[in-house]
Amino acid sequence: ENIPNVSNGSNVGTCKPEIKSCINGSFKIIQNKINPIDEICKDGLDNNCDGEIDDKGECFINIISPKNIFYSEDRIPFKIETESIVDEISFIDWNDRRPKDKILCRECDSFGIDKRKLISFDEGLHNISIKAQINESLTEEKSIQFLVDSTIPKITKLEPRRGLSNGIFKIEFREENPKDLR
């Protein structure tokens, strides 16, 4: 049988306790415990056991792109959607010299979904927060970190400069964000 969670004195959601029973002289688990976890959007389940399937507050904003990855281009595709129309979708890059909100759209429920939208970023690491707002209050904010490295490495010195090598080859180069040197 499901046992309701109690939060602030009211029953919310249903999680399952572990139930053991004595079978042939030893205890056996006949029902595994199901604890609340963070809500997983759009899976049709009440993961956090608060009585709501795919909570609106938890699942309000869906960020398809950018992702927490390395980008070799400085123009990053943005694809963001919300469950309903919001006053604005914006982002802030905390690695900027002077971080400030940049509005992507107003009175919208998506950005970059119907038409491809690219945002330019400088070389290096970026830690951005994407926000959806209704009535000037924050509805939801999600953070993403990614690296932009679009500059091709520059060869600064090469030996031997002419002719053949005796097996020794030397190269010096300049690279902003070297990933691996072997």
pLDDT digit of tens for each residue in the chain (182 aa)?
A: 444 444 443 344 557 778 888 888 888 888 777 777 766 655 667 777 777 766 655 557 889 999 999 898 999 999 999 888 889 999 999 999 999 999 999 999 999 999 999 999 998 899 999 999 887 777 788 999 999 988 777 888 887 777 777 778 787 877 766 666 65
Domain of residue 111, CATH code: 2.60.40.10
Structure tokens at 25: 């002289």
**169, part of any domain:** no
**130, part of any domain:** yes
User: How much is the pTM?
Assistant: 0.57
Domain count, the chain: 2
Tell whether 67 and 106 lie within a shared domain. Answer: yes
Specify the amino acid at residue 1: E
Range of the domain at 115: 61-148
pLDDT of 11 = 41
**67, part of any domain:** yes
- Number of C-beta neighbours around residue 119 at 10 A: 17
Tell whether 69 and 105 lie within a shared domain. Answer: yes
**161, part of any domain:** no
pLDDT of 14 = 58
**48, part of any domain:** yes
pLDDT of 8 = 40
CB 147, CB 125: distance < 8 Å? yes
pLDDT of 56 = 58
pLDDT of 58 = 53
Secondary structure of 42-81 in HEC code, one letter for each residue: CCCCCCCCCCCCCCCCCCCEEEEECCCCEECCCEEEEEEE
Tell whether 45 and 71 lie within a shared domain. Answer: no
Tell whether 105 and 133 lie within a shared domain. Answer: yes
pLDDT of 103 = 96
Question: What are residue 58's DSSP bridge partners?
Answer: none
DSSP annotation of 95 reads T
Tell whether 6 and 33 lie within a shared domain. Answer: yes
Tell whether 18 and 37 lie within a shared domain. Answer: yes
pLDDT of 180 = 63
